[in-house]
């Protein structure tokens, strides 16, 4: 399926979505980092660094993670290894006990909850195992919901949603509610909802876990083609190596630690592999420059062009 980017129909000034250019690359050819999790600890029994209990393994144990603009990364590991916890922390759904999550140079843990919510609506897209569509709403309104929550008028939001439904081949289901769709159709609607805001990153947590093998493969092909057309990075959690193979890079987790190909703990910055074997060294090319570290004004919107630097 050839999925076009429907944002091309709209003005760059259309709120609230930000339109993405092609992937910006460093001088070494690797994608510019868009999201960086640094030394992340998630201890559900602790309320702060001072209350972490030694000897009790945390859900995240000084985990490090990096993804570039437009890159696709799969996270694999056994149940309980911390995959979903890592995804939730990277997406700003959960705050880590310690550590930092940097989105285009800005620390997302140093902003208000309202700004974090806005960031999730405008810069991130989500696809979960169950789709999590609202059962009372037809497909077109489920897709349009994040746009309307961000202030877009109903007519404009549903027009954009319909454009995405058209591109994924589900225009005929625009008025159907989730209970009237198959599992594969609901996941396709969830993908359209994730992409309609033109996100910088799509977070997918076991998106094919409730589907049969053939349907799951079709859904993954659609997700990856649509993400590429929108130049969105993908962070994918899965148990299935066949699903992980849709990504350009796979990392593994064990006991809350992110491991490299040699089964060693990932470091926090330099010489991370990205994409098709290229590597990024933040100390040399400046890709990991920290920039301003928070505050509501900077989080008022993420840049339409990553080359403009950190968040505006």
Structural domain includes residue 1: no
Q: What is the DSSP letter of 174?
A: T
Structural domain includes residue 203: yes
List the alpha helices (DSSP H) in 200-303: 213-229, 241-244, 282-285
The H or E element spanning position 66 is strand 60-68
Structural domain includes residue 38: yes
* Structural domain boundaries enclosing 235: 6-308
Structural domain includes residue 27: yes
User: With contact defined as beta carbons under 8 Å apart, do 194 and 125 qualify?
Assistant: yes
Structural domain includes residue 19: yes
pTM: 0.76
Domain count, the chain: 1
Structural domain includes residue 52: yes
Structural domain includes residue 125: yes
DSSP bridge pairs for 273: 279
Three-state secondary-structure class, residue 67:
strand
Pair of tokens at residue 264: 């060693």
Structural domain includes residue 12: yes
Which residues neighbour 218 within 8 Å (Cβ) at sequence distance 6 or greater?
184
pLDDT tens, position by position, for the chain (312 residues)?
555 544 433 222 333 333 333 344 444 555 688 999 999 999 988 765 555 556 678 999 999 999 999 999 999 999 989 999 999 999 999 999 999 999 998 999 888 888 998 899 889 999 988 778 999 999 999 999 999 998 999 999 999 999 999 988 999 999 999 999 999 999 999 999 999 999 999 999 999 888 888 989 999 999 999 999 889 999 999 999 999 999 999 999 999 999 977 778 887 654 455 554 444 443 323 333 333 223 222 333 333 333 333 322
Q: How far apart are CA 141 and CA 121, in angstroms?
A: 15
Three-state secondary-structure class, residue 102:
strand
User: In this structure, what CATH number is given to the domain that contains residue 149?
Assistant: 3.40.50.300
């Amino acid at each position: 399926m050839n999925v076009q980017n429907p944002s091309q129909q709209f003005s760059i000034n259309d709120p609230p979505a930000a339109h993405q250019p092609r992937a910006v690359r460093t001088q070494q050819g690797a994608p510019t980092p868009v999201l960086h999790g640094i030394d992340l600890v998630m201890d559900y029994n602790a309320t702060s660094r001072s209350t972490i209990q030694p000897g009790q393994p945390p859900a995240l144990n000084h985990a490090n993670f990096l993804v570039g603009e437009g890159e696709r990364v799969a996270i694999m590991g056994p149940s309980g290894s911390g995959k979903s916890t890592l995804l939730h922390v990277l997406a700003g759904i959960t705050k880590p006990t310690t550590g930092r999550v940097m989105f285009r140079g800005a620390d997302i843990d140093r902003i208000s909850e309202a700004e974090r919510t806005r960031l999730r609506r405008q810069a991130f897209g989500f696809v979960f195992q169950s789709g999590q569509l609202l059962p009372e709403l037809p497909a077109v309104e489920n897709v349009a919901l994040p746009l309307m929550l961000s202030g877009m008028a109903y007519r404009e939001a549903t027009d954009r949603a319909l454009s995405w439904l058209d591109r994924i081949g589900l225009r005929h289901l625009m008025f159907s509610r989730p209970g009237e769709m198959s599992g594969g159709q609901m996941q396709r609607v969830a993908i359209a909802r994730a992409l309609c805001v033109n996100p910088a990153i799509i977070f997918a947590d076991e998106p094919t876990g409730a589907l049969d093998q053939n349907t799951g493969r079709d859904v993954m092909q659609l997700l990856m083609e649509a993400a590429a057309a929108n130049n969105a990075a993908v962070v994918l959690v899965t148990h299935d190596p066949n699903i992980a193979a849709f990504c350009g890079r796979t990392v593994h987790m064990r006991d809350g630690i992110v491991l490299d190909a040699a089964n060693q703990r990932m470091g926090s910055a330099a010489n991370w592999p990205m994409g098709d074997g290229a590597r990024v060294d933040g100390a040399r090319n400046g890709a990991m420059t920290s920039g301003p570290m928070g505050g509501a004004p900077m989080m008022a919107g993420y840049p339409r062009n990553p080359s403009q630097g950190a968040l505006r």
